Structure 1
Amino acid sequence: MHVAFVLDGEVVSEYHVGDQQPFTERPVLANSFVLPVPDTEAHEAFVRVQTSSSVRVPLYIWQESDFHAAQGPLNVAVGLYFGVLICMVVYNLFGYVVTREPSFFSYSIYVIFTGLLMAALSGVGFRYLWPEFLWMQERAIVLFGGLAFVFASIFITQLMNLRSNGIRWHQGLVALGVGAAIISICSVLLPYSVTIRMLLGFAIIACSYVMVLGAAMWIRGMMHAQIFMLAWITFLASILFNSLAYLGILDGQFIQRYAIMIGSGIEVLLLSWVVTLMYSAERTQKIAAQDEALAQAFVAQEAQRQLNEELEVRVAERTQALEDVTARLQVANSELEQKSREDGLTRVFNRRYFNEQLQHVFHQAQEEGKPLSIVMVDIDHFKPLNDAYGHLIGDDVLIAFAKRLQETASRPTDFVCRYGGEEFAVVLPDTDAEAAKRVAERLQDAIRKRPFASKAGPLQVTASFGVATTTVEKPAHSALVLLKAADDALYRAKSKGRDQVIRVTVNADA
């Protein structure tokens, strides 16, 4: 729209406004085209309007104060309308989250696109949502109108369960949904003058179809179908009035701007009411069905009770017998498991358990970023002792030696294993190198300072100790690397004359 004010043959001021210019460039930021009029002298006004579709250009001259006074109530009404839509969306989305009823969700999406359509029709969208997005302003009415009908068809199908209750009606709604989607796509490809007529004609057909559908469901006795019909009759009437106003058959700026908004507002409220009522009725029916099922179950349970009482005694006897057998099996399995992990002579853990558990504690130490130490222990000169006193005395020494290791390395997480022959391994989780060396020295003192009692008399025994520790910063590559380091340290202790504690720290470079 090009408006020029002329005084004495000269253009005093001129304005260019329209949907092809950003909203922020309007001389007065209002939803409709508002221009300041020179008020000093009488001017001639020349108005040139160009559009790709139909347009009505009613002209009004206002005092500025009167204009703002008139716009105030309208802005409040429009704000209330969109506030109601937002409340409906939030309420029904909350209903969907709580109940997982799909009609709540599809209805919410339908209301969102209806609100966007109304925002485009009223100018609220161009003013607040896409003031610089001219592409959207040109296509918003048809795009959002088509999407609103798409989700309306989905919502009605879910609300009335048409997949089960009316397959032919469902097919009709699917066709309408596809048609609405095609119109939305056409809004991007075809001129607005073509797509707006497509949308208006389609809206009348779709609303009429839905109204007939509501009447059919009402005749079938579907609950609350009359409210559903009233909602769509209201919306259809508003679309009809709006279409007639756009086509110039009805005269009325108010009808053209607010008819669909009023009709859609009433329709949204009524449909939300229908959704709530139908869900409540369905829930009541489910509760009644559950109560009836519970009553029938109670009767059946009472009949079953007598039979159960007769069986309970026999079942209890068999259960007790089974529990006794199970308990004995558990004890036997526990003993077998314990024996499979223990060394038969010394009753400390055996080599098999050591290999399995070392991998576990090594990976745990890596994950938790904690140190891990191993102390390899070998009884000094055990073979000469065994040869001199016999295997029975040697066995007594091994048993007492293992017990003394357990008494000294006594934390719940520590464990002692017989590695082979007279060689033992003490695993110390969460123990750094210094602490591991102190433990090894305590083990050395416990063995060195107290002779071992035997049938051949007290026997003085010493042992060699190899200590290896992973570092927190650079842990060993594997448990085998750590074990080999401890074994090498033990070998060095024996090489240096035995009865020694040799400590090494293993890192990633080892």
Structure 2
Amino acid sequence: MMRWLYGIFGVGLVLLLTLWFGVNAQAEAPQAGNELDIWYLSSEQQLTLADVYDNDSVTWEPLQSQRASFGYTKDEYWFRLSIDSASYDRVLHVGYPLIDYLNLYWVKANDITTYKLGDRQPYYQRPILTSEFSVPIPAGQAGVMYFSARTESSMRLPLSMRSETQFFDTQMQKRLAEGIYFGVLLCMAVYNLFGFVASREPEFGLYSLYTLFFGGLMLSLDGLGFRYLWPESLFLQDKGIPIFGSLTLLTAALFAYQLLRLKQYRRTLARGLFIMAGLSFFTLLVGIFASYRISIHVLLTLAAPGCLYLLIVGAYLWRKGFVYARMFTIAWGTLLLSVMAKSLGYLGVIDSMFIQRHAIMLGSGIEILLLSWVLAVRYNEQRREKLEAQQRYNEELEGSVEERTFELQIALRELQDVNAELEKRNYEDSLTGLYNRRYFSQQIEKEYRRAYRSKRPLSLLMVDIDHFKKVNDTHGHFIGDQILKGMADRLKDSAKRPGDIVCRYGGEEFAVILADCSQAQAEAFADRLVTQVRSQPFNTDSGPRHITISVGVAELNSQSGQSTEHLFKAADEALYRAKREGRDQVVTV
């Protein structure tokens, strides 16, 4: 069952990843007619707009691609872009959310507009609230856009210009895919958390934490956390990647230790996982207290070897013949490749923005799928081991397969009986043995649908014992309970048709559902019931006791669009009319 469940999830996640990367690849593909003529220069010192604007001593170089990538550098980079006039509104988009300081100077004929952007600036001062950086270019305006960029992260500046409609349509598609992706991560985290609560197996809890921290890392990398979760926290935006990355490696090491049971097979490898966990905790401290430039290098230095070590551990167990080790090895191999691609992208070795931005997302998606499968296989493996141990124990104790099978059949039958008894109690009133209010709510809906389909009448009786509180106060609750049981018996004796349903609605109030019964027939039934209760006393330990009842009757006319709520309200109002008008009577709506 678990394998089928994860198989279905796996197909869904593969389709999700196809949608995710298809949308992002389409969004990042250059649009026809949107090629930009970009020039750039770098400086070890900070410059101002006056230093680069119409300054012949400054040497601008043409940018060969709209996706500028210079790796890790302390230099300040300036970019210059000429923008012609257009008849429609446009948006200039910088598709990289981790630039610390990004100043844009929109130089027009008689005006200069300045935008101070970057993830070191408050989020809500951005002119367009997106996870990356965008500025509007109104229709009919032309000029030159100057950029200055400084960052402790990798220096990248992928530029694109689209019409306002194209831009927001692309953003909507990307956000939809992102919402589905992170929604799946959250569902996986919650599902495995429930698995941990139910089974108390620590690998489920650790995998849940691992998924959450990986989701936090992805949110930080894509700037979505700054947009949706911590827009007021510049500290978390600056430290999010090293913090969540370190926590991800820490939980990954502990998860692998619990999942693979290395202490049973190779203690040396198990100690290596503890060392990895300790180093991850160290990188966490570095991420909190050191600068981003230092902490990200420390994190990347640990990430690739850490994934490689997990790959080695998985390969070792694979060689030992463990089925689940195969998927574990492939999972971490995929993530290792994605981490390496991401690291090379940060260092400027790989120029593909699609790989740089989405390598870990693609790798993590496949890895999460495969690790989920590993959990399922490992869980089945544990169950198999427990069953084998149980079988060996039964063989030693009983001595024959037939006796064990017989005992299992008995246990299964008892379990079925217990389940049936529990289900019965779930819908049964413990005092009277009648159906309870929950069963009444379900059955009235079923009978309503049946009456609607067959165009047959449906009636409801609400029955209340008159002055029942006085009975309890005078004779005690024990006598009152005996009267309630006696009333329940009389209702069951009166409602003998197969479709009649008697329920205790609450306290001294009962409900009788009469299927295929008109209002006149229900009223006659109620009159007989009132007369019988009035004339025949109830036997109790304190002697015979006379009581009376009040009954409200209502019929459902499904053809006129009435609902079950209308039927219940009508019967209830009729009951309380009967009580107000003297009790011991039947009132019909």
Q: TM-score range by the shorter chain?
A: 0.5 to 0.7
The correspondence for 1:57, drawn from 144, 152, 157, is 157
Letter in 2 for 1:113: F
Letter in 1 for 2:127: P
Whether contact under 8 Å (1:23, 1:126) holds in the other structure is yes
Letter in 1 for 2:343: S
- Indicate the SS of the match to 2:127: coil
Q: Which residue of 2 aligns with 1:140?
A: 240
CA change 1:299–1:73 in 2 (3 A) is same
Higher strand share: 2
In 2, the alpha carbon distance for the partners of 1:224 and 1:68 equals 44
Identity among equivalent positions (%) equals 40
Q: Which residue of 2 aligns with 1:437?
A: none
In 2, the alpha carbon distance for the partners of 1:11 and 1:59 equals 23
The correspondence for 1:244, drawn from 344, 353, 373, is 344
Q: Which residue of 2 aligns with 1:36?
A: 136
Q: Which residue of 1 aligns with 2:35?
A: none
Letter in 2 for 1:246: Y
Segment drifting more, 46-55 vs 210-219 = 46-55
Segment drifting more, 220-229 vs 45-54 = 45-54
Aligned length: 302
1:24 Cα deviation after fit: 1.7
Q: How does 1:364-379 map to 2 (within 5 A)?
A: none
Query: What 5-or-longer segments of structure 2 have no aligned partner?
Result: 1-101, 404-589
Which TM-score applies when normalising by structure 1? 0.57
Whether contact under 8 Å (2:206, 2:255) holds in the other structure is yes
1:299 Cα deviation after fit: 2.3
1:302 Cα deviation after fit: 12
**Could you list the runs of 4 or more consecutive aligned residues of structure 1 that deviate by over 3 angstroms after TM superposition?**
300-303
Determine whether 1:20 maps to 2:82: no
CA change 1:41–1:217 in 2 (3 A) is same
- Indicate the SS of the match to 2:146: strand
Q: How does 1:438-453 map to 2 (within 5 A)?
A: none
Rg larger for: 1
- Indicate the SS of the match to 1:146: helix
Which TM-score applies when normalising by structure 2? 0.50
CA change 1:301–1:137 in 2 (3 A) is closer
Whether contact under 8 Å (1:149, 1:177) holds in the other structure is yes
Letter in 2 for 1:261: M
Whether contact under 8 Å (2:337, 2:363) holds in the other structure is yes
In 2, the alpha carbon distance for the partners of 1:266 and 1:187 equals 27
Q: Which residue of 2 aligns with 1:365?
A: none
1:256 Cα deviation after fit: 2.1
Whether contact under 8 Å (1:23, 1:131) holds in the other structure is yes
1:195 Cα deviation after fit: 1.1
Q: Which residue of 1 aligns with 2:285?
A: 185
In 2, the alpha carbon distance for the partners of 1:203 and 1:193 equals 15
In 1, the alpha carbon distance for the partners of 2:402 and 2:354 equals 70
Q: How does 1:146-185 map to 2 (within 5 A)?
A: 146-185=246-285
Whether contact under 8 Å (2:395, 2:401) holds in the other structure is no
Whether contact under 8 Å (1:122, 1:258) holds in the other structure is no
Determine whether 1:2 maps to 2:103: yes
- C-alpha RMSD of matched pairs (Å): 1.9
Determine whether 1:207 maps to 2:310: no
Q: What per-residue deviation string (whole Å, max 9, x for no partner) do you get for residues 101-159 of structure 1? A: 11111111111111101110011111111000000100000011001100111000000
The correspondence for 1:217, drawn from 296, 308, 317, is 317
Determine whether 1:195 maps to 2:295: yes
Q: How does 1:78-477 map to 2 (within 5 A)?
A: 78-299=178-399
Q: What per-residue deviation string (whole Å, max 9, x for no partner) do you get for residues 387-414 of structure 1? A: xxxxxxxxxxxxxxxxxxxxxxxxxxxx
CA change 1:301–1:147 in 2 (3 A) is closer
Letter in 1 for 2:269: W
In 2, the alpha carbon distance for the partners of 1:236 and 1:302 equals 51
1:160 Cα deviation after fit: 0.7
1:32 Cα deviation after fit: 0.8
Q: What per-residue deviation string (whole Å, max 9, x for no partner) do you get for residues 255-283 of structure 1? A: 22221111111111211110121111211
1:198 Cα deviation after fit: 1.4
CA change 1:166–1:301 in 2 (3 A) is closer
